[in-house]
Amino acid sequence: MKRLILILSVFLCVYGSVIAQNDTTKIVLKKSMLNGHIFNSINTSKSAFINTYLNTEIGIGNTGNIDLPGIKIGDHEVFSFNGSVTFITTNIDYRQKINDWLVLRLAMSVGGRIGSNMSTILVDGLNTFSGGSVGWDFRLVQKQKFQMAGSIFVKNINGSFIDIAGYVRDVIDDNPFAEAVKNIPVLTTGIGAQGAYAFNKTYGLQFGADFSYGESFTRNENSLFSSFNISGDMDLMPKKRIPLGFAVGYEISSNPEDTYLEFIYTNIYSGKIAYTGSSDFDLGLQFITNRVKLSDGIKEDPMIFKTQLDFKFYF
């Protein structure tokens, strides 16, 4: 009898240990992991993983002081000052895992740029965009160290442009269609591919590309948009037991929400520091810089320096 009780006790202990390990594995696998490495993503990198999460990004940036062109009336230039332009963005991305190879993705974005004083508002106006996208991500390749996914999506963005300087010029030139405010919807469809490679538990690499075609912010014209991105990250938790992660990334993009214009590319550089001690969420601070095209009269495209708070919760 004692032997039977001992055998049952050992069995229950082993069984309980196995169940606990399985539950822990399930918790860890909520996150994007390959070869023991949990990836610390930045917003230039799309996900190659099939999992469920809600990601929120809130950022604010500034161009710093720039020389602004004036509004020309005849041979005279007025309202010529120094100033800066402020950029604000909010992105919400929800991914729902359907099965082991398919994810439904829903996203919403709101952003804009506005002059920090009246002079920059007069010259560059007030530009905003809002919209969202819906798409499907599907697994293409899954190995121990490498994973790749494809995607199809539909994106709808509405741009609002307040161009005071352009309106004044049109009025002076007797343009019968002069307007200070333009609201332009943009609908595009596209495809993409995302990949991830884990060197070991500490280091990982992510990369991807998107191509879309559809309407542009130039009315009655269609455009081809594209973006290419790559990022590398380091997680100190597995070996150093320090709950910190770091990532750097690069993206080249012609998407209208990145450039506010068509037929140009912008180079986006990113860096991120994140807390990696939780199995349920990621919390990070991201630093982003890129050049942006403003008014035609500004000789050199200014640099944006943006700080962004990232919060991702896994289900």
Task: Please give the pLDDT value at position 223.
Answer: 84
Two structure tokens written together for 38: 């949990």
Task: Please give the pLDDT value at position 307.
Answer: 95
Task: Measure the CA–CA gap between 306 and 286, rounded to whole angstroms.
Answer: 8
What residue has token string 């455009």?
A: 223
Q: What is the mean pLDDT of the chain?
A: 81
Task: Measure the CA–CA gap between 147 and 158, rounded to whole angstroms.
Answer: 34
How many Å separate Cα 107 from the centre of its chain? 10
The CATH code for residues 31-314 is 2.40.160.40
The residues spanned by each domain of the chain are: 31-314
Give the angle 246-248-252 at the CA atoms, nearest 5°. Answer: 155
Length of the chain counted residue by residue = 315
Q: Do 304 and 291 meet the contact criterion of CB atoms below 8 Å apart?
A: yes
Task: Measure the CA–CA gap between 191 and 243, rounded to whole angstroms.
Answer: 35
3-state SS, residue 312: strand
Q: Do 232 and 42 meet the contact criterion of CB atoms below 8 Å apart?
A: no
Task: Please give the pLDDT value at position 155.
Answer: 93
pTM higher than the cut 0.85: no
Task: Measure the CA–CA gap between 298 and 54, rounded to whole angstroms.
Answer: 39
Task: Please give the pLDDT value at position 1.
Answer: 43
Q: What is the DSSP string of 97-143?
A: EEETTEEEEEEEEEEEEEESSHHHHHHH-EEEEEEEEEEEEEEEEE-
Two structure tokens written together for 186: 């943009």
First to last CA, the chain: 45
Task: Measure the CA–CA gap between 184 and 190, rounded to whole angstroms.
Answer: 20
Q: Which residues of the chain have pLDDT under 70?
A: 1-29, 44-45, 67-81, 116-126, 164-169, 177-178, 218-220, 260-263, 295-299
